């Protein structure tokens, strides 16, 4: 079993463990090792033979046992047990996701808002991964603590984008924004600004506990804004610590599909939003998807390969996922 396949198993274990509030600590440990495996791609068979699985960062005896089982049998009995306990079994209609065909991430942050790296550092990391494009989508002004971008700062950012694009050849930087969906479903930046951008990710961040019917209205309004391309982490949940927003998912997903708005599967292990169950519903409603890391640092791009099992579990074919499309096929850019 290669490191990425093992990382996906550990990522799923972490995900299932997070659903038990008493297991959040252990869940984080599994997610952290999944991340280390994705970044470092160790030869698990060699380590197993040498009895050195614990040499991998974060791996103690418990996780080593799970990894040893994976190397020996290609399966994890621990994962099978967790799936049974949480009522989330593997499905026989899972799709095939070829990560080698991944063209680029559409949701990322830089030091312009709450990212921890410069645009140049993020662009170089994306290029090193073989990406053809990267959506630079910092926060909108509403998120004051992170110095969100207004029209003026977006203009300044666009100049930096031009510079970085010249320096990192072969990578298209898509100028975008992660714009807040306000309580009434309006967006945190005027349409005149949004329409100039390549990619608009509209996300719910605050007031997630709004009553379901108000939340439904809010999301319906957001997905009908013609400038919105993607709904970012559509419920705002944080498994193990914060329940996401509740609304009429089917109604909102159908409206998103009607407007050609994609739904995100945010691969950050603290989010994993949409869940495979919600993503499956969205698939049935006709939606496209964006499989993004929501990276705030270069190493976080690895969240996508770790969490790709979520799209597989939801049965989403690759042609419904924007990130597998070449740049020329991303219709939102011309919009
Ligand atoms: Zn967000
Ligand atoms: Zn984000």
pLDDT at 21: 87
DSSP states along 33-57: HHHHHHHH---HHHHHHTT-GGGST
Q: Are 206 and 244 in contact (CB under 8 A)?
A: no
The ligand that comes nearest to the alpha carbon of residue 177 is 2
pLDDT at 135: 98
Q: How far is the CA of 314 from the centre of ligand 2 (A)?
A: 22
pLDDT tens across 257-299, in order?
A: 999 999 999 999 999 999 999 999 999 999 999 999 999 999 9
Q: Are 84 and 91 in contact (CB under 8 A)?
A: no
The ligand that comes nearest to the alpha carbon of residue 303 is 2
The ligand that comes nearest to the alpha carbon of residue 202 is 1
pLDDT tens across 174-220, in order?
A: 999 999 999 999 999 999 999 999 999 999 999 999 999 999 999 99
* Structure tokens, 123: 């662009």
Contacts of range 164-168, beta carbons closer than 8 Å, 24 or more positions apart: 164/119, 164/120, 164/123, 165/123, 167/120, 167/123, 168/120, 168/123, 168/124, 168/127
pLDDT at 334: 53
pLDDT tens across 151-180, in order?
A: 999 999 999 999 999 999 999 999 999 999
- Pairwise CA distance, residues 318 & 75, whole Å: 24
Q: How far is the CA of 241 from the centre of ligand 2 (A)?
A: 18
pLDDT at 154: 96
Q: How many percent of the chain have pLDDT more than 70? A: 99
* Structure tokens, 88: 């989330």
146 confidence band (pLDDT: 50, 70, 90): confident
Q: How far is the CA of 206 from the centre of ligand 1 (A)?
A: 10
Q: How far is the CA of 178 from the centre of ligand 1 (A)?
A: 7
Does pTM surpass 0.85?
Answer: yes
Contacts of 88 (CB under 8 A, 6+ apart): 16, 276, 277
Q: How far is the CA of 83 from the centre of ligand 1 (A)?
A: 28
Q: How far is the CA of 220 from the centre of ligand 1 (A)?
A: 18
What is the mean predicted confidence (pLDDT) over 236-249? 93
Q: How far is the CA of 247 from the centre of ligand 2 (A)?
A: 21
CA 96 to chain centre: 18
pLDDT at 269: 96
Q: How far is the CA of 294 from the centre of ligand 1 (A)?
A: 7
CB count within 10 Å of CB 128 equals 12
249 confidence band (pLDDT: 50, 70, 90): very high
pLDDT at 241: 84
Q: How far is the CA of 170 from the centre of ligand 1 (A)?
A: 27
Q: How far is the CA of 203 from the centre of ligand 1 (A)?
A: 6
């Amino acid at each position: 079993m290669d490191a990425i396949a093992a990382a996906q198993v550990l990522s799923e274990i972490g995900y299932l463990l997070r659903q038990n509030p008493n297991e959040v600590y252990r869940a984080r440990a599994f997610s952290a090792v999944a991340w280390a495996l994705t970044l470092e791609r160790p030869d698990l068979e060699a380590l197993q033979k040498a009895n050195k699985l614990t040499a991998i960062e974060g791996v103690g005896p418990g996780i080593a046992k799970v990894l040893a089982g994976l190397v020996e049998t290609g399966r994890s009995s621990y994962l099978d047990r967790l799936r049974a306990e949480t009522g989330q079994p593997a499905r026989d209609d899972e799709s095939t996701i070829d990560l080698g065909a991944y063209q680029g991430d559409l949701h990322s942050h830089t030091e312009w808002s709450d990212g921890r790296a410069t645009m140049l550092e993020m662009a170089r990391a994306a290029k090193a991964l073989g990406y053809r494009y990267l959506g630079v989508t910092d926060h909108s002004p509403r998120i004051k603590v992170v110095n969100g971008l207004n029209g003026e700062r977006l203009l300044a950012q666009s100049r930096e984008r031009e510079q970085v694009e010249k320096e990192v050849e072969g990578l298209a930087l898509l100028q975008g924004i992660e714009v807040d969906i306000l309580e009434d479903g309006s967006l945190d930046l005027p349409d005149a600004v949004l329409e100039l951008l390549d990619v608009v990710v509209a996300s719910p961040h605050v007031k997630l506990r709004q009553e379901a019917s108000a939340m439904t209205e809010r999301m319906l309004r957001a997905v009908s804004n013609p400038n919105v391309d993607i709904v970012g982490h559509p419920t705002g949940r944080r498994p193990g610590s914060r329940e996401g927003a509740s609304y009429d998912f089917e109604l909102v997903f159908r409206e998103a599909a009607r407007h050609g708005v994609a739904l995100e599967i945010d691969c950050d292990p603290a989010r994993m939003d949409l869940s495979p169950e919600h993503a499956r519903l969205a698939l049935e409603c006709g939606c496209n998807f964006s499989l993004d890391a929501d990276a705030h640092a270069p190493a976080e791009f690895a969240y996508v390969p770790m969490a790709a099992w979520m799209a597989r579990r939801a049965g989403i074919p690759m042609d419904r996922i924007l990130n597998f499309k070449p740049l020329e096929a991303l219709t939102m850019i011309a919009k």
